[in-house]
Amino acid sequence: MAVTLDQTIAQKQHTFLSRLLANQTFWVVIAVVLACLFLSFATDSFATSKNLFNITRNVTFVAIVALGMTFVIITGGIDLSVGSVLCLCSMVLAVTMHAGYSIEIGILATIVTALAIGAFNGVLIAYVGFPPFVVTLGMLSVARSLAMVASNNTVVFQFGPDHQKLLALGGGAWLFGIANPVLYMIILALITGFILRWTKFGRHIFAIGGNEHAATLTGVPVKQIKVAVYMISALSAGLAGIIQTGWLGAVTTNLGTGMELQVIAATVIGGANLAGGVGTALGAIVGAALIEVIRNSLGLLGINAFWQGTFIGGAIILAVLFDRIRNFRRSD
Partner 1 sequence: MSVLELANISKHFGAIQAVNDVSFSLEAGEVVGLMGDNGAGKSTLVKMIAGNFRPSHGTMHLEGKEIVMHKPAEARQHGIEIVHQDLALCNNLTAAANVYLGRELRRGVGPFRILDYAAMYKRAGQLFAELKSETRPRDLVKQMSGGQRQAVAIARTMLSQAKIVLMDEPTAAISVRQVAEVLNLIRHLRDQGIAVVLISHRMPDVFDVADRVIVMRRGRKVADKKIASSSPEEVTGLITGAIEQVA
Q: Considering only CA atoms, which of 109, 134, 114, 135 is closest in space to residue 123? A: 135
Q: Is 331 in the site for partner 1 (CB under 8 A)?
A: no
- Among 138, 160, 171, 210, which residue interacts with partner 1 (rule: CB under 8 A)? 210
Give me the half-sphere count of Cα atoms (radius 13 Å) on the Cβ side of residue 33. 6
Distance (Å, whole) CA 180 – CA 186: 10
Q: Is 214 in the site for partner 1 (CB under 8 A)?
A: yes
By beta-carbon proximity to partner 1, the closer residue of 284 and 312 is 284
Range in contact with partner 1 (rule: CB under 8 A) among 195-203, 283-291, 295-303, 309-317: 195-203
Q: Considering only CA atoms, which of 281, 311, 267 is closest in space to residue 62? A: 267
- Among 1, 6, 17, 176, which residue interacts with partner 1 (rule: CB under 8 A)? 6
By beta-carbon proximity to partner 1, the closer residue of 209 and 283 is 209
Q: Is 199 in the site for partner 1 (CB under 8 A)?
A: yes
Distance (Å, whole) CA 93 – CA 61: 16
Name the amino acid, one letter, at 184.
Answer: Y
Range in contact with partner 1 (rule: CB under 8 A) among 54-62, 181-189, 210-218, 225-233: 210-218
- Bridge partners, residue 251, by sequence: 156
| Smallest gap from residue 262 Cβ to partner 1 (A) | 26
- Among 109, 211, 249, 323, which residue interacts with partner 1 (rule: CB under 8 A)? 211
- Among 178, 206, 249, 320, which residue interacts with partner 1 (rule: CB under 8 A)? 206
Within positions 59 to 118, which residues make up the interface with partner 1, using CB under 8 A?
Answer: none
Q: Is 323 in the site for partner 1 (CB under 8 A)?
A: no
Distance of CA 186 to the CA centre of its chain: 12
Q: Is 229 in the site for partner 1 (CB under 8 A)?
A: no
| Smallest gap from residue 5 Cβ to partner 1 (A) | 6
- Among 9, 17, 128, 305, which residue interacts with partner 1 (rule: CB under 8 A)? 9
Distance (Å, whole) CA 82 – CA 256: 8
| Smallest gap from residue 81 Cβ to partner 1 (A) | 26
By beta-carbon proximity to partner 1, the closer residue of 133 and 194 is 194
Q: Is 12 in the site for partner 1 (CB under 8 A)?
A: yes
Burial 228-267 (b: 16+ CB within 10 A, else e): bbbbbbbbbbbbbbbbbbbbbeebbbebbeebbebbbbbb
- Among 217, 250, 261, 301, which residue interacts with partner 1 (rule: CB under 8 A)? 217
Name the amino acid, one letter, at 262.
Answer: Q
296 CB burial (10 A radius; 0-12, 13-18, 19+): buried
Q: Is 218 in the site for partner 1 (CB under 8 A)?
A: yes
- Among 278, 286, 289, 315, which residue interacts with partner 1 (rule: CB under 8 A)? 278
Q: Is 232 in the site for partner 1 (CB under 8 A)?
A: no
Q: Is 20 in the site for partner 1 (CB under 8 A)?
A: no
By beta-carbon proximity to partner 1, the closer residue of 259 and 278 is 278
Helix 49-74 with 281-300: angle, nearest 10 deg: 140
Binding site for partner 1 (CB under 8 A): 5-6, 8-14, 197-200, 203, 206-207, 209-211, 213-215, 217-220, 277-278
